[in-house]
Chains A and B, each alone.
Chain A
Amino acid sequence: MDGAASGLGLIAPVKKYQAMNKIVNPNELTSDDDYGPLYAARKKVYPQSVSGTFRRIKWGLMAFCLGFYYLLPFVRWNRGLGAPSQAVLIDLPNSRFYFFFIELWPQEVYYFTGLLIVAAVALFLMNSVGGRIWCGYLCPQTVWTDLFYAVERLIQGDRRERMKKDKSSDPMRLERILEIVLKHSIWLLIAWWTGGAWVLYFNDAPTLVKELVTFQAPMIAYAWIGILTATTNVLAGFMREQVCVYMCPWPRIQAALTDEWALNVTYRYDCGEKRTSVKKAAELRALGEQVGDCIDCYQCVAVCPTGIDIRNGPQMECIQCGLCIDACDNVMAKIGRPKRLIGYDNDINIHRRQEGKAPVYRIVRPRTVAYSAIIAGVGGIMIYTLATRSLLDVNVLHDRNPVAVRLSDGSIRNAYTVRLLNKSGYDRVIAIDANGPVNATIHVIGVDSVTPDRPMIVIPRDSTSELRMLVTAPAQSNPEKSILVRFHVTDIGLGEAASATDNFVAP
């Protein structure tokens, strides 16, 4: 059985893996660093390749996420002549955001508030159901790091090979130099494509690609590609797990959001302890003694992308990618013990099993119900408001200096700035009415009334128009201090209408 164990390529002392709780040997420190080293050296992580259920899920999600990100800008959506035909487009110069059938104007950014609330609560929900699902499977840092590791593994070999090459004191051979150059070239290519895809969300993608290739794109596009190429390459190629451990706030926050029922990647120490070798375990089992399934093979540690030992319990560094589950399952299959010594579980079930009770999985509990309700509620409100969103709108602003004007015949005039918004894809003819003081007349500066007291104006599609509007009430001996005025705008072709209110005041 020894052969089986060493065949898995594991042997390493415990201390080596305790990167986060480094044990300091006083003899290693030089006499001049009185207060210890100023910095902690990084322990480079060499995750070993692994196959299994969770690895397959991760490959699938990676393909989906990256495919989505890289290809989405090329998806077309017909919005009619003169409007952008890109399905997802952030048009900064014209202040428009397009998402398939949705077009948002700057004053509608509150939809993003709803989106952010849904996103945050979805994160909480994931967390209370299955721990750090976001970190382990969906976070861009995880996805790109995983991809960069795959490239590294393909070119420079798996864990032990890379460790050996890094440690080797032999002079560099051409083959090794080529490997390194090739790896960095592919990394840069991926990073460059990542930055390139980003800028495509801000401009018509096919046009911009053409411009980029012929060096006619605006400088800012190249600058952003450069910046994002650098950040992608540095974060996924070099910083890797350090981003999660040192830079990201989420591991700290999620610790406050989790509860005892949440399923986290857990070493089931009730099944695993005491650890022994395969051979010894067989002997002890033959004698009828209690032995754990863990054979201390360190496979879970070898595959871990953050370089920790899951058997030490829940740790901030653990992104819960599930790869240790695959690694352990493979070993358990080989030694003929039950799978899922490491799995999605919690301490409650470990204790229940220790007490001889059946484990309980409680997905539906007040916390998850509340999160789901918030998601459904906010999502519902967003969908409702989007579906009933008006394509014609009016805003009114009362003059402040002067608030009211008395004319020579004693009548009272109030002036308003009226802004009409035509969010549709066609020009409109708008009629404006104002219902306020009795017998009041209205006049819009620069607009010749076709019908008396009902000014008409043409607003081109997808634009706004600002008008100055005068409301004049006839002279009265004792005018009311303030009267509500309702400004009503009607598309005379389609009958669509919108209104806004303000006050008519006496001087």
Chain B
Amino acid sequence: MTDHHSDIDSVTGRSTTGHEWDGIKELNTPLPRWWVVTFYLTIVWAIGYWLVYPAWPLISSNTTGMFGFSSRADVAVELANLEKIRGDKMVALGAASLADIEKDPALLALARAKGKTVFGDNCAPCHGSGGAGAKGYPNLNDDDWLWGGTLDQIMQTIQFGARSGHAKAHEGQMLAFGKDGVLKGDEIVTVANYVRSVSGLSTRKGYDAAKGEKIFAENCVACHGDGGKGNPEMGAPNLTDKIWLYGSDEASLIETISLGRGGVMPAWEGRLDPATIKAMAVYVHSLGGGK
């Protein structure tokens, strides 16, 4: 064994570690005692952690710790507490009428906050995070409503859906005039151009307006009404405005008339509680398009 300690640096008079690199020796500068003690204490503390908290993975589970702590259980408790806190407020929301909710700033703020989160969880996949919609999925920010845009009508649509299979669901759909052989190809083109003309869009060269009006009157007026103003009872859209769920170009219209349309809105009754559905209705109404 080499005795390093006889190796005292002549300049400083201090001991060296005995290590030498290219003639340079390292002075021994030990840590203060409390530092070393603290270091050991942290190791002891770590062992305490193993015992108190879940720590070691086992084959199919893990050690649970002395007090059975689990962060998942903590979350469950927190969520339950949150529900309790929200409870009273949601009861107030459930008791108020839809119109009253919009008039009371506190209830409106609550309904909008609740509606926004629930909308994000349930509605955003089809309607978009802000209700902007997409082709086939209505934009909820505009003032065009297939099934009506009053608070009650919006709530009804959310509650029972459209073509959802629910007994009270909105029924009625765009028929497949081409596929079912009701209209022939040239008739479909003509009526498509007629539909474009009623909302002020350009029409194909050589299109016969009189024939288009006749076909429309015979086949479409029943649902879309005289002049194509639509009918919320049937879910038949207004064809004279600037909003088109499936597109306003000729090709899209031909596709719609030939194959029919019938998007499905699920019924939320049973999946969401009544107060939440109310909040949803207020939220959607307050997006800006509500009537």
Residues of B within 8 A of A206 (CB): none
Which of B41-49, B65-73, B136-144, B258-266 forms part of the interface with chain A? B136-144
B172 within 8 A of A: no
A246 within 8 A of B: yes
Which of B15, B112, B243 has the most chain A CB atoms inside 10 A of its CB?
A: B15
Give CA–CA (A379, B36) in the complex, Å: 44
Residues of A within 8 A of B28 (CB): 24, 35-36
Contact assessment for B109 and A21 in the assembled complex, using a CB-CB cutoff below 8 Å: no
Which of A294-302, A409-417, A492-500 forms part of the interface with chain B? A409-417
Give CA–CA (A35, B32) in the complex, Å: 16
Which of B82-90, B124-132, B186-194 forms part of the interface with chain A? B124-132
Q: A445 with B108: in contact, given A24-B15, A402-B139 (CB under 8 Å)?
A: yes
Contact assessment for A409 and B32 in the assembled complex, using a CB-CB cutoff below 8 Å: no
Contact assessment for A26 and B31 in the assembled complex, using a CB-CB cutoff below 8 Å: no
Distance between B36 CB and nearest chain A CB, rounded to angstroms: 4
Picked from A40, A401, A405, A448, the residue with its CB within 8 Å of the CB of B32 is A40
A117 within 8 A of B: no
Q: Would you give the 0/1 interface string for A445-478, flagging 1 where the beta carbon is closer than 8 Å to chain B?
A: 1101000000000000000001010100001000
Q: Restricting to B1-39, which residues have a CB under 8 Å from any CB of A? A: 1, 4-6, 8, 12-15, 17-18, 28-36
Contact assessment for A41 and B14 in the assembled complex, using a CB-CB cutoff below 8 Å: no
Distance between B47 CB and nearest chain A CB, rounded to angstroms: 21
Distance between B240 CB and nearest chain A CB, rounded to angstroms: 9
Q: Would you give the 0/1 interface string for A231-260, flagging 1 where the beta carbon is closer than 8 Å to chain B?
A: 000000001001000100000000000000
Picked from B13, B31, B34, B288, the residue with its CB within 8 Å of the CB of A239 is B34
A2 within 8 A of B: no
Distance between A441 CB and nearest chain B CB, rounded to angstroms: 12
Q: A40 with B33: in contact, given A406-B243, A408-B243, A409-B242 (CB under 8 Å)?
A: yes
Residues of B within 8 A of A29 (CB): 5, 15
Contact assessment for A26 and B243 in the assembled complex, using a CB-CB cutoff below 8 Å: no
Residues of A within 8 A of B131 (CB): 401-402
Residues of A within 8 A of B129 (CB): 401
Q: Tally of A-B residue pairs with Cβ under 8 A? A: 116
Contact assessment for A408 and B286 in the assembled complex, using a CB-CB cutoff below 8 Å: no
B289 within 8 A of A: yes
Give CA–CA (A409, B243) in the complex, Å: 9
Residues of A within 8 A of B51 (CB): none
Q: Restricting to B209-252, which residues have a CB under 8 Å from any CB of A? A: 238, 241-243
Residues of A within 8 A of B31 (CB): 38-40
Minimum CB distance partner of A27 in chain B: B5
Distance between A285 CB and nearest chain B CB, rounded to angstroms: 33
Residues of A within 8 A of B92 (CB): none
Contact assessment for A446 and B286 in the assembled complex, using a CB-CB cutoff below 8 Å: yes
Contact assessment for A36 and B103 in the assembled complex, using a CB-CB cutoff below 8 Å: no
Contact assessment for A24 and B242 in the assembled complex, using a CB-CB cutoff below 8 Å: no
Residues of B within 8 A of A23 (CB): 13-14
Minimum CB distance partner of B19 in chain A: A35
Q: Restricting to A4-28, which residues have a CB under 8 Å from any CB of B? A: 21-24, 26
B105 within 8 A of A: yes
A42 within 8 A of B: yes
A407 within 8 A of B: yes
Give CA–CA (A26, B141) in the complex, Å: 87
Residues of A within 8 A of B35 (CB): 39, 246
Give CA–CA (A400, B124) in the complex, Å: 14
10 residue pairs, one from A and one from B, having the closest CB atoms: A401-B130, A402-B132, A408-B241, A24-B15, A405-B141, A39-B33, A39-B36, A40-B30, A446-B108, A445-B286
List, sorted by A's number, 10 A–B pairs whose CB atoms are closer than 8 Å: A21-B13, A24-B8, A39-B33, A40-B30, A239-B34, A401-B129, A407-B243, A408-B238, A408-B242, A415-B288
17 A-B pairs besides A24-B13, A246-B32, A401-B131 with CB distance below 8 A are A21-B13, A23-B14, A26-B8, A29-B5, A35-B17, A36-B15, A36-B17, A39-B32, A239-B34, A242-B34, A399-B141, A400-B130, A405-B139, A408-B241, A409-B242, A445-B288, A468-B286
Residues of B within 8 A of A (CB): 1, 4-6, 8, 12-15, 17-18, 28-36, 102-103, 105, 108-109, 112, 128-133, 139, 141-144, 238, 241-243, 286-289
Residues of A within 8 A of B (CB): 21-24, 26, 29, 34-42, 239, 242, 246, 399-402, 405-410, 413, 415, 445-446, 448, 466, 468, 470, 475
